[in-house]
Each structure stands twice: as structure tokens, then as C-alpha cells.
């Protein structure tokens, strides 16, 4: 287990204070946390029914939740890219890797109030333990993870996703390939709870 340095602890405290007071955010040169970042897996294993379920879910939910920023990994030309809802019909699963760590890094730079991660696999460009170490530093930002598929096939790394959610105060939910409709239901419930808390 990696412990935070004094500098990292002070930075965490500053971030927490700054998130409650915009003036202090300017003083510490820290962006106040706002909105949600949704990280979506478009690696080759997502092709087919999982890809279509993801597209349908995004097209139905995002228009009513404009404070969500979307990230896909891998991107068409880069490892990680942001995208808009109107691009969804032209998007296809592909690439040769699952750069989940790079996607999380991009999301942490945005500094949202909450993150949602949807994947059917595991990180394979940055080691999982290294990602979890980074998550401890950004543990004030909850990450809610949705794992699609069957962990018995060893494609879905539930252990990693559960640890990521636990470290950040988020949640984990597995969606079986025969129950893909539950992805929309789960996300809808999560977003409604976010709106309720935000008032």
C-alpha cells in the first residue's frame, strides 16, 4: 500500500477547501470541481451488442444531463479523446488496447465532481496498481464503475474495478451480457441521485 506524502496530503486538503469556495480555488490555482465525466470503453471486445447498448444509453441519457463530458478509450486516432453525443452514430469499437489509465488521467485533469467508468475489460497500458495509486491521490472524486460481461472469462477485471470504486468512495455494478438493458437503468439511477444532491 502506498501512503500519501505530506505534499500530496496538503494538496488534497486544498482541493477539498477549494471545491467549496471559488475564491480559495483561485488562490490555490485549483479548478473547482463541477459536473460529471463519463469514461467509455470502445476497445474491440465491446463490438456488437455491448457497443449498441452503450450507444443507445448515451443517446437517451446525455441530452437530459448536459453537465456530462464524454471520454472514449481508445479513440479513433489517439489513445483517449473527448467526444460529443452527435458523433456517437459514426463511432465504432476498435483499436488494439484498453488505455483506461490514460482516460482516467484525462478525467482527473478535468477535475469533476463525479466520474463514471464503463468497461468490459481491464487496463493494459498502465498497470492497475499504478492507476490505483493515482486514484488514492484523487480519492475526493468518486468513481462509479460499470463492468460489462462475465468475470469468469477473465476479460472483465472486477477486482480492479471494485478497488477503484472503493478507494474513491464510488460504487461498482456488473452488467451481464444478457442484461445490457440494466446499463441504462443503472446510469439513470446514478444521474438522478447526482441531480438530487446538487439540488
Average pLDDT, integer, range 3-21: 55
Within this chain, do residues 24 and 105 fall inside the same structural domain, yes or no?
A: no
Indicate if the alpha-carbon torsion angle 80, 86, 92, 93 is positive or negative: positive
- Residue that wins the pLDDT comparison between 76 and 173: 173
Count of beta carbons in the 10 Å neighbourhood of residue 72: 24
Quick one: pLDDT at residue 76?
Answer: 61
pLDDT tens-digit series, residues 43-55: 999 999 999 999 9
Count of beta carbons in the 10 Å neighbourhood of residue 159: 11
Would strands 172-175 and 114-119 be described as parallel, antiparallel, or unpaired?
unpaired
Within this chain, do residues 127 and 182 fall inside the same structural domain, yes or no?
A: yes
pLDDT at 135 over 90: yes
Q: Give the pLDDT band of residue 1 (cuts 50, 70, 90).
A: very low
Within this chain, do residues 118 and 142 fall inside the same structural domain, yes or no?
A: yes
Q: Give the pLDDT band of residue 63 (cuts 50, 70, 90).
A: confident
Residue 119's domain comprises: 33-198
Q: Cα torsion for 161, 114, 14, 7, to the nearest 10°?
A: 20
Within this chain, do residues 24 and 100 fall inside the same structural domain, yes or no?
A: no
Within this chain, do residues 87 and 103 fall inside the same structural domain, yes or no?
A: yes
Within this chain, do residues 91 and 6 fall inside the same structural domain, yes or no?
A: no
| Cβ-contact 113, 141 below 8 angstroms | yes
Within this chain, do residues 62 and 138 fall inside the same structural domain, yes or no?
A: yes
Tally of domains within the chain: 2
Residue 13, all three cell numbers: 486538503
| Cβ-contact 117, 144 below 8 angstroms | yes
- Residue that wins the pLDDT comparison between 104 and 195: 104
Radius of gyration of the chain (CA): 17
What pTM was estimated for this model as a whole? Answer: 0.83
Within this chain, do residues 12 and 48 fall inside the same structural domain, yes or no?
A: no
| Cβ-contact 163, 132 below 8 angstroms | yes
Within this chain, do residues 177 and 193 fall inside the same structural domain, yes or no?
A: yes
Within this chain, do residues 10 and 83 fall inside the same structural domain, yes or no?
A: no
The C-alpha angle with vertex 92 and arms to 57 and 95, in degrees rounded to 5, equals: 125
| Cβ-contact 144, 114 below 8 angstroms | yes
Amino acid at each position: 500500500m502506498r501512503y500519501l506524502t505530506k505534499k500530496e496530503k496538503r494538496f488534497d486538503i486544498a482541493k477539498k477547501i477549494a471545491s467549496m469556495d471559488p475564491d480559495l480555488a483561485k488562490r490555490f490555482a485549483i479548478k473547482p470541481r463541477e459536473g460529471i465525466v463519463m469514461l467509455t470503453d470502445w476497445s474491440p471486445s465491446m463490438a456488437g451488442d455491448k457497443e449498441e447498448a452503450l450507444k443507445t444509453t448515451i443517446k437517451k441519457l446525455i441530452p437530459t444531463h448536459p453537465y456530462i463530458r464524454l471520454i472514449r478509450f481508445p479513440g479513433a486516432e489517439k489513445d483517449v479523446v473527448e467526444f460529443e453525443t452527435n458523433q456517437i452514430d459514426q463511432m465504432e469499437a476498435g483499436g488494439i488496447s484498453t488505455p483506461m489509465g490514460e482516460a482516467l488521467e484525462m478525467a482527473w485533469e478535468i477535475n469533476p465532481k463525479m466520474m463514471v467508468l464503463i468497461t468490459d475489460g481491464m487496463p493494459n497500458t498502465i498497470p492497475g496498481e499504478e492507476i490505483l495509486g493515482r486514484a488514492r491521490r484523487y480519492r475526493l472524486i468518486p468513481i462509479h464503475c460499470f463492468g460489462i460481461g462475465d468475470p469468469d472469462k477473465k476479460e472483465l477485471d472486477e477486482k480492479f474495478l471494485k478497488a477503484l470504486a472503493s478507494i474513491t468512495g464510488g460504487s461498482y455494478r456488473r452488467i451481464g451480457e444478457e442484461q445490457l438493458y440494466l446499463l441504462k437503468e443503472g446510469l439513470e439511477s446514478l444521474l438522478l441521485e447526482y441531480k438530487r444532491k446538487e439540488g
